[in-house]
Chains A and B, each alone.
Chain A
């Protein structure tokens, strides 16, 4: 390499060891991008201890304050079998709520990344946009699953046994739910320009999804309009399989089952757990595709 002449100055050639090679375009490059974006989410999560604690306050309040209060009020009409009561009933709903809120919050942090410029650092890198979105979803889902697992550890306090098969089944469902909802949140974030939109998403999307999911009440004997809305809510198909699995493992009486173990039905047909989980998976996949498409389209 000869010296480069710029104006009348001679610029010495760059020392060769300094130059590094940039990869890109192969499958392993995309996988590496997924991994590094995922890792960043976890580093940020681990560094923000306040966030870990504050996001557990709400589910704990629902479970132990609302749950205990309503148990007491309903104690005359609602049968109790040992430690199984209304709190046991809402426990899967509260775990699902933890996933919903944490996943959406993680996904919507893309809007913060956009606001503070970091998104651009990612978008100008020589990697596919799909890999960035996948990494973001994997990171958000991991964080949500960790939070939900902390809640799951409280199962014994509401009369749910620490049965390994039960816990593993619930864990699998939590992971699936976290992936699907993070993908949904990422699709939302791909269309959000400002941080202010976060409040809109919370009020118009997240809270309705939560309240219509049957997390806090049985989806039976509802007025027609509410019954229809609950069955359109994807969260319904996250809460229901978890609750049915829980009630397979807790000691119950027929009276308790009659009130609390009320599966989702379409007409009079009881929707199988497998189909519910498949619906959640399809919902997540569609949302992921929407998010990838939106980010790939954007300049």
Chain B
């Protein structure tokens, strides 16, 4: 994904222009619940075939936005078009063209995996001769074809999520919405789910819109919108976002940390501190800096590590706080999450 960062945003816009319209086109969308403004005027476009992620802490307005795009909530103001249809005026048309995977399960535990999918196929009016092969195809895609006659309540959390992904794809939607697709799963299962999602992106040229508060998951997206307190802070490719932070984190283990900190301040005007038991500072182009460090610093350095900026650093850079801090303050605004819960129903 080397130079995706440089061209991603530009080509997405170009693609939207070429097709005449983006697959998802959102302008000044807001949603208020009483006094609470959950979404405060977000605008963005997602091109056909693109995987677009909403990254932000819980309570930032991610679920509310996805609910509006899925026609489960009516916007307070602004417009949103999905697959060319207005989410407020052409709700039925939007529903035909989207697939949904929500953060909490929406399967019927008392039905088998296959019965759940058949219910979906019949509800969406997929012709019988098309439904059977498609059902087998999506179940094989998520590795559940062998388990099709199993009751869903005997399934693990990861299997249920895979089944939901299969169901979301069953009617060949143009856009697949994934709301926190791996929340509540263990790390190994999470990485499996991402294996399936990435495989799916290769196989079906589907547009994906997902929300997550996991930084590492946002890395899978072509582009990310960082959302905080109901507003989009920045939109770009993960690489471009990380590049925009502009500084690498350097950590040194030295014989005399105090002297090292003093020397860094003196020679390079760098503000270093002890973090995680090492002298830590941020500097642009870390690799080029290290040789200078050794040349000019007259100290015993036992080890050096350089870390590229992560999306954590990006979030910090744009909002002035870590995503963890943001979630703590969001949970204080308890009313917000209660409303989100109500909204999801």
Contact = CB atoms under 8 A, between A and B. Distances in A.
Contacts of A193: 345
Contacts of B275: none
Interface in A2-61: 4-9, 11-15, 17-25, 29, 32-33, 35-37, 40, 43-44, 47-48
A122 B123 contact: yes
Given A7-B1, A118-B108, A124-B71, A19 B119 contact: no
A11 B202 contact: yes
Contacts, number: 148
A116 interface: yes
A125 interface: yes
Chain B contact residues (Cβ within 8 angstroms of A): what range? 35 or more
A149 to B, nearest CB: 23
A220 interface: no
Contacts of A18: 134, 137, 172, 204
Interface in A245-274: none
Interface string B160-171: 000000010011
Contacts of B124: 22-24, 125-126
A4 to B, nearest CB: 4
B126 to A, nearest CB: 5
B11 A5 contact: yes
A126 B70 contact: no
A40 B49 contact: no
Contacts of B167: 121
Nearest to A135: B123
Nearest to A44: B110
A121 B92 contact: no
B133 A22 contact: no
B104 A117 contact: yes
Nearest to B123: A125
B12 A6 contact: yes
Interface string B1-24: 111100110011001000000000
B222 interface: yes
Among the interface residues B4, B115, B125, B134, which one has the most CB atoms of the partner chain A within 10 A?
Answer: B125
Interface in B11-40: 11-12, 15
Interface of A: 4-9, 11-15, 17-25, 29, 32-33, 35-37, 40, 43-44, 47-48, 114, 116-127, 193, 299
6 cross-chain pairs, A with B, having the tightest CB-CB distances, nearest first: A23-B125, A117-B106, A4-B49, A7-B4, A126-B95, A36-B122
16 contacts: A4-B15, A7-B8, A8-B3, A8-B7, A11-B201, A11-B202, A22-B124, A23-B124, A24-B95, A116-B105, A116-B106, A117-B105, A120-B102, A121-B120, A125-B120, A299-B73
Interface of B: 1-4, 7-8, 11-12, 15, 47-51, 70-74, 92-93, 95-98, 100, 102, 104-111, 115, 119-120, 122-127, 130-131, 133-134, 137, 167, 170-172, 201-206, 222, 237, 343-345
